[in-house]
Amino acid sequence: MVDNNSPNKFIPYLREDRLPHIFCAGCGNGTIINAFLKGMENAGMDFDNIAMVSGIGCSSRIPGYMKCDSLHTTHGRALSFATGLKVSNPNLDVVVFTGDGDAASIGGNHLIHAARKNVNLTVICINNNIYGMTGGQISPTSPKESFATTAPYGSKDYPFKLAELVATAGATYSARWTTLQVENLIGSIKKGFENDGFSFIEVVSQCPTYYGRKNKIRTPTAMALTMKNNTIFKFEADKMKEKDIIGKIVVGEFVNKQHPEYSDNIQKLSKENFGDNTLINSAYEVLK
């Protein structure tokens, strides 16, 4: 599949006829796509069996560039579409790309319920702490006192901690990394694919165009440095006082456990009580 002569070894996974992409220079999406594809390869996944679902926002545009079946849905609702898709055809490896606004604000309810149900989805949540697509508004993960076009005097709200929230809601795998811990991120994406359940990988990412500009961290390098200086590992954070963690990016794994999976449960219920009648692509048949 991979052609070593191509400028980037992951090019064959992309819809080349859609390039160039719309992402800004310095955006974290490129790093994340690379890490995603590497993690996927490391997990030994069959790319042809992957279906991607996304909502609305910069991160949700990623599936549109990937050469696989992709469902670019409504704002915040990707997880509900993905749940239906996975239940409809449990053989598919369903990946969801989402962002902080998409997953945690408008889609917050779907997020906790998909986690609670432990639907076998690999969710990559790109958290850049701002609404990029609409031009830099405050998001539910924006740090307190950060600036945005809708928080011109600094945000007074407390941000969500997504990886922790999803772990608490019932996900069987949840981790957070930044775009600087690429190897850890690749490892978590691999684990996400391997986990037979709801896997949530939050990637704290840089948006120099909006977050950087609004918060006077204008270059990608400056953003990377700020992220790096703010990052602490979970094992360190566990030993720290809560007030000392405020404003820090805690990275690591928040849950990694086994738990019966949603679409398996549905199939099992049917098979155990009524025999094996399940049929993939049943819409194409006249059923008796």
Partner 1 sequence: MEVVKISEKFFIQGNEACAKGALKAGCRLFAGYPITPSTEIAESLARDLPKVGGSFIQMEDEIASAGAIIGGSWGGTKSMTATSGPGFSLMQENIGYAFITETPIVLIDVQRGSPSTGQPTMAAQGDMMQARWGSHGDYEPIALSPSSVQEFFDFTIQAFNLSEKYRTPVFVMADEVIGHMREKIIIKDDIEIIPRIMPNKDESYLPFKNIENGTNPMPSFGEGFDIHVTGLTHDEKGYPDTNDPITHTKLVKRLCDKVLNNKDDICSIEAEDTEDADIVVISYGAPVRSVITAVKKAQKEGKKVGYIKINTPWPFPDKQIKKLASNAKEIIVVEMNLGQIYYEVDRIMKCQANIHLMGGIGGLLPNPDEILDKINKIGGI
Query: How far apart are the C-alpha atoms of 121 and 156, rounded to whole Å?
Result: 33
Query: How far apart are the C-alpha atoms of 15 and 124, rounded to whole Å?
Result: 20
Residues between 90 and 109 with contacts to partner 1, criterion CB under 8 A: 91-92, 109
285 binds partner 1 per the rule CB under 8 A = yes
Which residues lie across from 231 on neighbouring strands?
Answer: 249
Nearest distance from C-beta of residue 152 to partner 1, angstroms: 29
Of 25-33, 69-77, 145-153, 245-253, the segment contacting partner 1 by CB under 8 A is 69-77
Residues between 20 and 49 with contacts to partner 1, criterion CB under 8 A: 48-49
Q: Which long-range contacts (CB under 8 A, 24 or more apart) does 33-39 make?
A: 33/62, 33/65, 34/10, 34/182, 35/182, 35/185, 35/186, 35/189, 35/203, 36/95, 36/124, 36/189, 37/10, 37/13, 38/186, 38/189, 39/185, 39/186, 39/187, 39/188, 39/189, 39/190, 39/192, 39/193
Query: How far apart are the C-alpha atoms of 283 and 156, rounded to whole Å?
Result: 51
Interface map 253-282 toward partner 1 (x if CB under 8 A): ----------x--xx-xx--xx-xxxxxxx
51 binds partner 1 per the rule CB under 8 A = yes
| 21: its two tokens | 């992409």
Of 85-93, 166-174, 209-217, 245-253, the segment contacting partner 1 by CB under 8 A is 85-93
122 binds partner 1 per the rule CB under 8 A = no
Contact present, 119 and 111 (Cβ < 8 Å):
no
Query: Residues binding partner 1: what is the number (CB under 8 A)?
Result: 53
Q: Is 216 left (phi over 0), alpha (psi -120 to 50) or beta?
A: left
Task: Out of 8, 11, 84, 145, point to the residue binding partner 1 (CB under 8 A).
Answer: 84
Nearest distance from C-beta of residue 167 to partner 1, angstroms: 19
Of 81-89, 139-147, 170-178, 226-234, the segment contacting partner 1 by CB under 8 A is 81-89
Residues between 174 and 233 with contacts to partner 1, criterion CB under 8 A: none
| Number of residues written out for the chain | 288
Nearer to partner 1 among residue 57 and residue 187 (C-beta) = 57
Nearer to partner 1 among residue 229 and residue 277 (C-beta) = 277
- The count of C-alpha atoms lying within 13 angstroms of the C-alpha of 54, restricted to the half-sphere facing its C-beta, is 24
- Binding residues for partner 1, rule: CB under 8 A, are 15, 17-18, 48-49, 51, 53, 63-64, 67-74, 77, 79-89, 91-92, 109-110, 113, 263, 266-267, 269-270, 273-274, 276-287
